[in-house]
Amino acid sequence: MFVDEHSAKQLLAQAGLPVPTGGRASTAEQAVDIARRLQVPVVIKALVPAGGRGHAGGVRFAEEAEAAGSAAAQLLGSVVQGHHVDQLIVEEQIAIAAEFYAAIVTNSSLRCPVLLFSPEGGVHIEQLYAERPAMVLSLPVDLRYPLEPARVQEWLGRHASEHPGLAGAFVRLYGLYTTIDAELLEVNPLAWTQAGDLVALDCKLVVDDGALVRHPELSKSEAPGTALERLARTKGLTYIELDGEVGVLANGAGLTMATMDAIESYGGRPANFLEVGGDAYTKAAAALEIVVSHRQVRSLLINLCGAFARTDIIVEAVVTGWRKIAPSVPVAASVHGTGEERAAHLLRDGLGVEPFETMDDAVIAAVMMARRSAEGGDGTP
Ligand code: GDP
Ligand code: MN
């Protein structure tokens, strides 16, 4: 599970690692309030689950509250690194003397946590490592024994003596990493301030999904994703919102991806990734509701291929969902394999839709319907 930066920083603070003072905002007014309360120059950051925001314009600086408000207004509703921005972090600006990279990652081939440090942080660590591997120090750790501060001190060498507190910061990071069952805990940059302190300016924390039962406190933190993505998660569905117009309801991840590719190759754009395979089999009604709720959807493509999955059971659920919400989008369908005859019958009766002979025909129809309804028609062929 990806823990958002604001929640991750609260955990860092609890673990004894200083973080900038600030808060979370979802409106420009809230951003102004936080900046006013802080009474110092602030940083306004898009709270999205991706790095590289600095380069993408997702990190702004403001000297006073009014400017923080306009920066916030610009960021909210924009897209940063492919993510819609609906929340921000507003924090005090830190006067930086140096930016370090500090991380602990679970290394699956070594089967242990590895501490990583670079005196040149703030940048893409993968790129730095590719170009100048000597700039990245690493220390594999044996989970069976406590991490000795002296060991970390020795590993960091002159960096530790030049920057008092650095070894201690790693020990505290490691403490958090183990207690929270992290797979990745990355602080980039870990700032060395002009006053000679260490402050975590950014934090990326990924917790092992298998350990979430041990951390009920994490479910309280805001999960990432759009409103529909969060809703889908509560219903046990994997839904990823995209910016196309053709809503996709297919079974199995493979067929769903092939369907999305086919839409693209016929000149359309999928509005979502969502599969109703595996144990999501009987959740087609909820799935339909989520797919057609995406405001950009102009047509719906139902593409089912049954082997173990019974297409008629999926369609039955779709029809139930359809009756409940009565969406106004036109539908193109292709149904093949186990249960296809009954599925076709249910589609005719329930939705008034005749399935196409082939998947390609259904995809072409869905793309045309989306195009027509975008041009103002009702989309029906
Ligand atoms: P990322 O680009 O998504 O990793 O976002 P970061 O939170 O790491 O911010 C990107 C860059 O903005 C950092 O590497 C810093 O150079 C700069 N930055 C962020 N916060 C501060 C701050 O408080 N003071 C200063 N001077 N720079 C900051
Ligand atoms: Mn960063």
Extended strands (E) in 275-358: 299-306, 331-337
**Helical packing angle, 149-156 and 166-179, nearest 10°:** 130
Q: How far apart are CA 123 and CA 54, in angstroms?
A: 10
Does ligand 1 have an atom closer than 6 angstroms to the CB of 302? no
Q: Does 57 contact ligand 1 (Cβ within 6 A)?
A: no
Asked if omega into 18 is within 30° of 0 (cis), the reply is no
Q: How close is the Cα of 73 to the center of ligand 2, in Å?
A: 22
Write down the pLDDT at residue 378: 54
d(CA 344, CA 103): 54
In this prediction, residue 245 carries a pLDDT of 97
Q: In the prediction, which pLDDT does 222 show?
A: 55
What is the reported pLDDT for 123? 76
Q: Whose CA is nearest to atom 19 of ligand 1?
A: 201
State if residue 202 touches ligand 1 by the CB under 6 angstroms criterion. Answer: yes
pLDDT for 218: 85
Asked if residues 201 and 9 have their Cβ atoms less than 8 Å apart, the reply is no
Ligand 1 centroid to Cα of residue 201, in Å, is 6
CA dihedral 309, 311, 312, 315 (to 10 degrees): 120
Q: Residue 243 Cα, ligand 2 centroid: separation in angstroms?
A: 26
CA-proximal residue: ligand 1, atom 17 (nearest) = 54
The separation between CA 208 and the C-alpha centre of its own chain, rounded to angstroms, equals: 15
Which ligand is in closest contact with the Cα of 58?
1
Three-class DSSP category at 367: helix
The pLDDT score that the predictor gives to residue 132 is 92
Pocket test for ligand 1, best of 96, 101, 187, 197 (most atoms within 8 A of CB): 96
With a 6 Å cutoff on the Cβ, whether 316 touches ligand 1 is no
Mutate to test the pocket of ligand 1, among 40, 45, 59, 120 (most ligand atoms within 8 A of CB): 59
pLDDT given for residue 280 in this prediction: 67
The finding on whether 53 has its CB within 6 A of some atom of ligand 1 is: yes
| pLDDT digits (tens), the chain, 381 positions | 999 999 999 999 999 999 999 999 999 999 999 999 999 999 999 999 988 999 999 999 999 999 999 999 999 999 999 899 999 999 999 999 999 999 999 999 999 999 999 999 987 888 998 999 999 999 999 999 999 999 999 999 999 999 999 999 999 999 999 999 999 999 999 999 999 999 999 999 999 988 988 998 887 555 667 889 988 988 888 899 999 999 999 998 999 999 999 999 999 999 999 988 776 667 889 999 999 999 899 999 999 999 888 999 999 999 999 999 999 999 999 999 999 999 999 999 999 999 999 999 999 999 999 999 888 765 555
Q: Is 224 in the pocket of ligand 1 (CB under 6 A)?
A: no
- Any atom of ligand 1 within 6 Å of the Cβ of 59: yes
CA 268 to chain centre: 24
Active-site residue list: 101, 186
Ligand 2 mean position to 241 CA, how many Å?
25
Centre of ligand 1 from the C-alpha of residue 279, in Å? 42
Measured by CA distance, the residue closest to atom 13 of ligand 1 is 122
Alpha-carbon distance values, 201 to 44, 153, 218, 271 (Å): 12, 22, 21, 35
How remote is the CA of residue 187 from the centroid of ligand 2, in Å?
Answer: 7
